[in-house]
Amino acid sequence: MDDKTVNIYSTRLTEDQLVSLVIESTYICERSDLCILDAADKAAALLESVFDASNLTEEHFWLIALNSAKRVIGLFEISHGMINTSYAGPREIYLRALLCGAASIIIAHNHPSGSLEVSENDRNTTIRITYSGILMGIKLDDHIVVAGAEFTSAYY
């Protein structure tokens, strides 16, 4: 994989009922700065480029897996919910982060309503994922909420 290629993964069970990574597609970073995520605006721009995050009609929850140099090593859609909710628990997130060898992660979801307001559920998710990451040794770098063409951080 070169410095401009990012794999978009899903997980599947093998015949032996073991979890494995499956490359669903590959994204080529036309802007090379989108492959190194050292700022929230770059993560939001990557989500927009790959998933059209600002135009989705239901809430989606994503994981961006990073190596120790903050280079994107994997993108995952963790869940796809309804108009104002989606679920992402620590197990679903860290299973994928471990499988691709992440040193740190960014989680993100969209608000189809266009509201940048960070909900109590958003805050609680951030706290659960942060503490789980501490136990796993994988740092949560940010939790981004995308609303239309804007974004905010739910990370406190």
Among residues 50, 22, 125, which one has the least CA distance to residue 81?
125
What confidence tier does 5 reach under pLDDT thresholds 50, 70, 90? confident
User: From the CB of residue 72, how many other CB atoms can be counted at a distance below 10 Å?
Assistant: 24
Q: 62 forms bridges with which residues in the sheet? A: 77, 108
In this predicted structure, the answer to whether residue 1 has a pLDDT above a threshold of 70 is: no
Q: What's the CA angle centered on 107, arms 114 and 149, to 5 degrees?
A: 25
**Average pLDDT over all residues of the chain:** 91
In the CATH hierarchy, which fold is given to the domain comprising 5-117+139-153? Cytidine Deaminase; domain 2 (3.40.140)
Kindly state the percentage of the chain with pLDDT values over 70.
98
In this predicted structure, the answer to whether residue 2 has a pLDDT above a threshold of 70 is: no
Q: Which residue has the higher pLDDT, 39 or 75?
A: 75
| Bridge pairing between strands 150-153 and 139-147 | antiparallel
- pLDDT tens readout for residues 36-45: 898 899 999 9
Kindly state the percentage of the chain with pLDDT values over 90.
77
Question: What is the predicted pLDDT for the residue at 15?
Answer: 94
Q: Which residue has the higher pLDDT, 5 or 98?
A: 98
Helices marked H in the chain — which ranges? 40-51, 90-99, 120-136
Instruction: Break the chain into its structural domains and give their ranges.
Output: 5-117+139-153
- pLDDT tens readout for residues 43-57: 999 999 999 998 999
Q: Is the dihedral of CA 147, 149, 150, 151 positive or negative?
A: positive
